[in-house]
Structure formats: structure tokens, C-alpha cells
A and B are shown apart, each in its own frame.
Chain A
Amino acid sequence: MSVQATSEHKGSTFWRCLGTRVKALVVAGFASVALLGPAHALIEIDITQGNLEPMPIALPHFATQGEQADLGQQISGIVTADLQRSGLFRPIDPAAHIQQNMNVNTQPRFGDWRTIGAQALVTGSVSQLPDGRLKAEFRLWDVYAGQQLIGQQFFTTPQNWRRLAHIISDEIYERLTGEKGYFDTRIVFVDESGPKDQRRKRLAIMDQDGANIRYLTNGSELVLTPRFSPVSQEITYMSYSGQNPQVYLLNIETGQRETLGNFPGMTFAPRFSPDGQRVVMSLQQGSNANIYLMDLRTRRTTRLTNTAAIDTSPSFSPDGRQIVFESDRGGSQQLYVMGSNGQNAQRISFGPGNYSTPVWSPRGDLIAFTKVHQGRFMIGVMRPDGSGERILTEGYHNEGPAWSPNGRVLTFFRDTRGGQGGPQVWTVDLTGYNEQVVQTPNFASDPAWSPLLD
């Protein structure tokens, strides 16, 4: 599986590979239509501001040549949905478009797009080559400046067509916001079926928009809290399949699975270090849970906490030097930050209520958490020193935030009341204004985001 891309925007040819197998690089030029100098975008989104006005963007259906007549429309439809769900863009209804039948290789009539209020325009085409591969081209235009901002070509196998769309979304997002995108990613989660007192739980993985669900376990064992490796096609999770409930490592490409460590009791709440070489987790010891670190290469384990308390949900800072975790050592669940050697634990949460499931942003600037206060379950963020607490969403039951790889969006699960109730996976951005459900066939919980795919 591979996608090769060429770009004159970057100044040199580059390519991307999907999955781990690399095919021969295909070089293809893509001449600029506008023939203007290096583009200086006049349009830009500052995504650090709260409650901003989404940017109006026009995405006419990509032209299609070949047998799959609706493929171009499907690809531009996925790009449209990605950008819309981000909350930063407002795609303009194609029925309002004045210029029709856009050709990716001719300059748009910018006046027609200004008239309908579009600030950005995406044109594209997709065709099938004689060797069976798909070729896709797209250009991103600054409508007011009358300039091309991106022009790229991609080649890939037909079954990769959705990833092609997400990669185009990421390119557009990055060019217009200055931040890396997060659309060509997956979410691992726990699929839940059956009645509430007899839930069947399966590990599952899906594209970030809910497409392409694949099940990783068969439901015969209880599985919880999967987490992605930041560097490999592996996840770590908790399973009740053995003598003791324990933390496992699963390669999602080979299906190979192993127990992590040889601990004398239940292990749970695993999470990878930023370099992917270590897993930090809790070990239950009598009434207490302590945090341990396991080196995946040497298999050596190190004890990091030693208190008469429940210490759990550890999460590394992106530089690997600190760990945030929850502990009830002070009488109630609160957040603490310690060195990654276990030294100098400092409490950082002081608001009313219980704080749990902390997770450090990949940007390093924030820690997201679940907060429970007066029967309300909230998802919030605070700075690593505990200042600047903000609640992003609250309600009957919101739990277990996990970051998008660019640190701008959180996924979490929201449960509903009573015997017929059940959890669904949601996303919320850092403004708190843009909440979206991820549609899944069954109930779904414990979401965790993958890094950007390569």
C-alpha cells in the first residue's frame, strides 16, 4: 500500500508511503497554473482563538475520469466532511457554486467564488491509470489573492481512496492553519454490545471519521483501555484473558500478542512513553495500586511510586521527563506530576471535585482530564503546573480524554443513563464549542488516537 505524492509547493518532489511496504517512487511534476511567484497566503486561520468564525471554503466535486464515475465526488465529500468536523471551516453548499465543471488544470474564475463568499477553493480530479492505480490531483486556491497555495499529485492503489481524501484534508488544514492535520489517523477503541449487565467488549480500530472499522479481538475476553504506540503498529491494553487481569501488547498488523511483564498481581492503565520504548502502568498490590515502568527492549521493570494509595492513569510528558498521574493519597482523586524516575511528585489539581485520567498533550502545553463534581462528569484541560483550568464539556457522564496527534482536539466517551444507555465516542476541540459524535455501529468507549499515519 503506498501513496506517492509530488508537490511543487514544497519546492521539491516528495512522496509518502501508506503502511510499511514501500513501492518504487514515482516522480511526476505538477506545473503551477497560476504561474505566480511563491504564494504568500492572505488567508490564514488562527486556531488559538476561541469561538472563531469558521472559514468559508468551496470544494466542488473532483472531476473523475475512468470507470468509477462518482469517485471524485466521494473524495471531495470526505475532504468536505473532515474540514467541516474540525469546526474551523464552513464548506459552501455546492448548489450555490456559480462556476461549474471545474478543471484542476485551469485557473478558476475567482470573481465567481468571491461572489459566494468563498475565501478558499479546492479543485481536484481523480482518474484510474492503465496499471490500475489511482491518480489524484488537487489545488488549493486563495480566492481573494487569486493565488494557488498548494498543487499536488498522488498515486495510490484504489482501496486507499479514503486515505487519499484524508491526506488532502491534512494538506489543506496545515496550509491554512499552520498546524499539522489529524485526518489521516485512526482511533482504537472498545466496541460494546449486549445488555449492560452482560456487556461484550471487543478491541476495534477505525479511521478517525468512523469508517473502516476492524475488530482486533473476538469478545470472548473483557478488554479495556487500549492505547496506541507513538512509533509502531502496536497497542497496549488491559485484558481479563489470563489468570490475572493484565496489560498486553498487540501488534495490529501481525495479530501477535504478548503479556507485558511478569508481575505478581493485576496490571492495568498502560500507556506508552513518547519514544515508544517503554510502557508505564499500574500494579495492584493489596489495597494499593502503584506505578511501574517497563522497558520493552530490556524487559526490566522499575517501580515509580510507593504509597498506601491508588496511583494510576500515568501519562508521560512529550519530552519524556515527567509523568502525570492520578492518586487518592491525599484522600480524594487528584492529579500529580512527578519526574519520570518517580521523584518529586507534586499535586497540581486543587479545584472542587475529583480529578482522574490525566493525559499530557503531545504539544506539552496542556493536560486533559476527567473531573467529577456533584454527580457531573466533565472533560477539561489545565496547564502542567495546574493553572488555567478550563472545562470543555460536561454532563451526566463524560470520561477518558485522549489527544489528537496535533494536540488541538480531544476524543473521549460519553455515556447515557440507565439500563438502555451506553457510551459513544465523541470529539471536542480546545475551544469547547465544537463537539462531534463519531458514529459507530455499537456502543463505543475508551477511544485513543493514533499518530499521523505514514
Chain B
Amino acid sequence: MSNVLFARVARLVAVVTVCLVAAACSQTRPELGADGSVVPGSGQDFVVNVGDRVFFNNNQSSLSPAARATLDKQAQWLNAYSNYTITIEGHADERGTRQYNIALGARRAQAVYDYLSAKGVSQSRIKTISYGKERPVAVCDADSCWSQNRRAVTVVNNAGS
């Protein structure tokens, strides 16, 4: 029940993110059809219908069953649309020290890298980067925010389209 709710919240966050991106960038391919629906194979399709991020427990980089389910869908999509390259961004919450969190974010990005490449996504398409605790998406003073920040985000790069 709470998982369903959480998935909805996460999706809502994802949609908002896409709107911001859409407003900020001139797009090289249409993301929305004439009727407002998401175009399959577009970056927005990946964010909205696949899910671009997975979440981690405190100080952990192991993939939960929910994370693996998301990454299975990511791998399927990336194998179908093989013209895209991706950047995996690893992040940590603010309740750790800076240097360690940089390495922890890298460890989380690496976990996603390893999983996707094991699922057939060519390693030459994947780049990783860690932002440590420098790029939170939620800023409240509670674990409801920190848990959203302990994440790895798969960013689909337009360059391949």
C-alpha cells in the first residue's frame, strides 16, 4: 500500500522534473504526441513510463527488489532504443560527511552500472558520476526527504537520438 503510494509520489516528482527539463531545453525530438501523450522511445517515455531512478537505504548501495524491478525495465527500454547513451548519477543524503558521500554516491552509481550492463546494456553507452550530497531533490528535515535523495538517476542523453 505504502509502496504504491510511494511509487505515485516518485512518478509525480519525475513528471515535474520532465516539465522543468522540457521548459529549459529545446528538444531535438518530439516528446509529446499531438494528443499530449508521451511518444514511445522518447526521453520522457523513459522517465514517465520506465522510471529513471532507484532508491537506497541509509549508507547502503545494495539494490532492493523494487530497485531491481525498475532497472529491469530500464534495461529493456535501453536495449530497445540502443541509440541512447546514459549517465548514471549517484547521490547521497545530507546526513553523512562530504567526502564519504562522494564515494558512496559513486558506489550507488556503480551498482546500477553493474546491473544494467549485466542485463545487456553495452558498457560503452554508460557513464557514471557521483554528486555525493551536493544535489538533493528534497530539502525537508526528515527521512521522507532524505530517502528521496539516496538515489541513482539514469539520465538519458539526447546526443544519441
Binds B, one of A101-109, A133-141, A415-423: A415-423
Mask: chain A, 196-212; 1 = CB below 8 Å from B; 0 = not:
11010100000000000
User: In the assembled complex, which residues on chain A have CB atoms less than 8 Å from the CB atom of B110?
Assistant: 286-287
The contact sample of 29 A-B pairs, CB cut-off 8 A, is A196-B136, A197-B136, A197-B137, A197-B138, A197-B139, A222-B131, A224-B134, A225-B99, A244-B129, A266-B102, A266-B106, A266-B129, A266-B130, A268-B99, A269-B102, A282-B103, A287-B61, A287-B107, A287-B110, A310-B100, A312-B100, A312-B103, A313-B97, A333-B100, A356-B96, A372-B97, A397-B95, A419-B140, A446-B98
Range, interface on chain B: 20 to 34
Interface residues of A in 194-241 (CB under 8 A from B): 195-197, 199, 201, 222, 224-225, 238
A429 part of interface (Cβ distance < 8 Å): no
Q: Please give the distance in Å from A350's CB to the nearest CB on chain B.
A: 19
Interface residues of A in 270-285 (CB under 8 A from B): 282, 284
Q: Tell whether, in the assembled complex, residue A310 and residue B97 are in contact, meaning their CB atoms are under 8 Å apart.
A: no
With known contacts A224-B98, A399-B98, A284–B106 Cβ distance under 8 A = yes
Cα–Cα, bound, A222→B133 (Å): 12
User: In the assembled complex, which residues on chain B have CB atoms less than 8 Å from the CB atom of A312?
Assistant: 99-100, 102-103
Cα–Cα, bound, A399→B133 (Å): 13
With known contacts A286-B110, A419-B139, A357–B99 Cβ distance under 8 A = yes
Q: Tell whether, in the assembled complex, residue B99 and residue A282 are in contact, meaning their CB atoms are under 8 Å apart.
A: yes
**Which of A197, A201, A268 is the one whose CB lies under 8 Å from B102?**
A268
User: In the assembled complex, which residues on chain A have CB atoms less than 8 Å from the CB atom of B132?
Assistant: 224
User: In the assembled complex, which residues on chain A have CB atoms less than 8 Å from the CB atom of B111?
Assistant: 287
Q: Please give the distance in Å from B55's CB to the nearest CB on chain A.
A: 17
Q: Please give the distance in Å from B101's CB to the nearest CB on chain A.
A: 10
B141 part of interface (Cβ distance < 8 Å): yes
Name B residues whose Cβ lies closer than 8 Å to a Cβ of A.
61, 94-100, 102-104, 106-107, 110-111, 129-132, 134-141
A289 part of interface (Cβ distance < 8 Å): yes
Q: Tell whether, in the assembled complex, residue B97 and residue A356 are in contact, meaning their CB atoms are under 8 Å apart.
A: yes
A375 part of interface (Cβ distance < 8 Å): yes
Query: What are the nearest 6 A-B pairs in CB distance?
Result: A419-B139, A417-B141, A418-B141, A310-B103, A289-B103, A269-B99
Name A residues whose Cβ lies closer than 8 Å to a Cβ of B.
195-197, 199, 201, 222, 224-225, 238, 244-245, 266, 268-269, 282, 284, 286-289, 310, 312-313, 326, 328, 333, 356-357, 370, 372, 375, 397, 399-400, 415, 417-419, 421, 446
User: In the assembled complex, which residues on chain B have CB atoms less than 8 Å from the CB atom of A397?
Assistant: 94-95
Cα–Cα, bound, A88→B104 (Å): 41
Q: Tell whether, in the assembled complex, residue B137 and residue A375 are in contact, meaning their CB atoms are under 8 Å apart.
A: no
Cα–Cα, bound, A199→B136 (Å): 10
Residue of chain A at shortest CB distance from B108 = A287
With known contacts A284-B106, A289-B106, A312-B103, A418–B97 Cβ distance under 8 A = no
Q: Please give the distance in Å from A141's CB to the nearest CB on chain B.
A: 47
Cα–Cα, bound, A272→B66 (Å): 43
Q: Please give the distance in Å from B123's CB to the nearest CB on chain A.
A: 12
Q: Tell whether, in the assembled complex, residue B97 and residue A370 are in contact, meaning their CB atoms are under 8 Å apart.
A: yes
Q: Please give the distance in Å from A352's CB to the nearest CB on chain B.
A: 15
Q: Tell whether, in the assembled complex, residue B97 and residue A357 are in contact, meaning their CB atoms are under 8 Å apart.
A: yes
Q: Tell whether, in the assembled complex, residue A400 and residue B97 are in contact, meaning their CB atoms are under 8 Å apart.
A: yes
Q: Please give the distance in Å from A269's CB to the nearest CB on chain B.
A: 4
With known contacts A224-B134, A356-B97, A310–B139 Cβ distance under 8 A = no
User: In the assembled complex, which residues on chain A have CB atoms less than 8 Å from the CB atom of B134?
Assistant: 199, 201, 222, 224
**Which of A244, A356, A419 is the one whose CB lies under 8 Å from B99?**
A356
**Which of A197, A286, A356, A400 is the one whose CB lies under 8 Å from B135?**
A197
User: In the assembled complex, which residues on chain A have CB atoms less than 8 Å from the CB atom of B104?
Assistant: 310
Given contacts A284-B103, A372-B95, A421-B141, 10 further A-B contacts (CB under 8 A): A197-B136, A201-B134, A245-B129, A268-B99, A269-B102, A312-B103, A313-B97, A399-B97, A418-B140, A419-B141
User: In the assembled complex, which residues on chain A have CB atoms less than 8 Å from the CB atom of B94?
Assistant: 397, 415
